[in-house]
Structure 1
């Protein structure tokens, strides 16, 4: 059954109970499944039956997790991957051919940028970038061989917000596939398919898990496109493990309440930093000073857990700030219960040239905070003392 509200679908979408009538879904730690007879086996491999054959293809746990995300996102179908980057790579590898062209926002995760600039060109697939603030200019970048428009929103790490309706119109007008990385927002805060996206990708490692435990990724959207992605993944093997799917499916049941607290804390942190004398600037989608504040309010239920800001004093001040952090964690992850402070120029985006980093606003002093679930007073106290020591 598909319920009206995201919260209910996250909790009440589940597998049929076994004869044991368990309330919590069990783990299905099996590599393969047996058949009743030769005809059952033949029909299953011919896909005349919708059933599990091998856990690289489907598994009850991965199927449940996928179904939950599909209902939350309003998608027709999906496939769950071992990691977020496995989802990104497999989606492009399944849908693109040699000679195809991608139009992408320049503000993307560092590994996605490497995929576009180092690996896809091996198969004669090229990418043209546009700046987040220039989404209205995307149509001018379309070529005869363009196949996909791709963007993250909010972006990593600068939390820029792209207008999904503008991107969707360009995609429709030119018969292109619009793919949106929805990792920062989660299916709870934003559903890009409602605004015209064809596919939505998540790194489930982040807020969907929410506790820094397991890796995972997922792509959901149009059934015809997911079919191609499924066939690619079935033959190349980047499937999510049943155990991780079981963990992530349970995590979705608390996603709305967790994200509500993340957003509440993050907005308080952003407001505090905006008024701090040792900070040059702050960006959070629900700060009124954010350049795309109105777009964020239209597309998102709340502003998310990520805050980007720049410490006054350049590289040396930034180093002192990071070394002065006490309670918060220094890590490259995000979306954890624990507040995480990251320096993108030396970690997540360190493989980019300085010119490429500056082009997307990643200065040497840029700090990304993934605001956690601790008491916000404790988060603010730690950031304040670290800034004063910088």
Structure 2
């Protein structure tokens, strides 16, 4: 790499670390040092940029090649930004990708935006000497950061896609961080190197796979996103195995989470946007003002107890859609009314759930019982008859990698 580019990327890493620190996201000194040292351009040598607008099919993309002079500035801006980096369409081989415009396909691998990566690694409390397992590492950015903190030979990733496994391992080897990526089913963890002090899942799952818990060492921590059919209200689950060996799990709502494991079809409000704009629905009084976006405990409960809903965050007024029921609700601008349309009264369900949430004490976190092993995993806001409770969906029906 030419000297001027090395200097440029070093400055960009410093700017990135300073930005994350100023925003209150980056607080761990070891992780900051890792961000400053690791040349992420080695792990993200290309990136797709979407050209088509929402709803286009097929989708038009443009591939930025970091080695191409015409792409270099935009590529460097992107890989040091707080955006997700799109890397692979439809499980394609990752060698000699065509530079420039391409059409069709859907993204099957990406690098998570940096603030989420930083928050996750800080949440698990990663430190030197920890045995670390990354589930679904993609190109290996978070795995490389973890290896830089734990020390060489202690960080392992399990990736289902063979092309991405080879791509990530080759680039990690060039960095010399001592991290290993193996091809396999991330839902099975990686028993050969278990137990692990820290496990981080870069994929959202409907419930916690039993092997993940079994492979967690005493004193260990496991962090994952619990995925539902809605992308609007993700939940972050932190599992801790105490030094005595018991398992504790706490679920919290978050503003963002990881994409679900392959096989989950996310709901979308996009197909109803034009219809809602043309006819928001009939107005009726409501006792529920639009709950704030940061009422994460309520919205997380809604993902499970009012299932099948998705929010259109681009709408001017709070708009909640039930796509499968062809129904929606548009909250008024604080005038005590809501507009509803369709056979399902979406807003009435949220009114009822909000009342239950308040009766339960407005919980912001929930306890998850994982002690049943392969049995049902139950979530509760606490004890008593007014507690909010639900059961997590099973893993059954999720496609698994071919042997």
Q: TM-score, normalised by structure 2?
A: 0.29
Of structures 1 and 2, the one with the larger relative CO (CA 8 A, separation 6+) is 1
Select the structure that is richer in strand: 2
Select the structure that is richer in helix: 1
Q: TM-score, normalised by structure 1?
A: 0.29
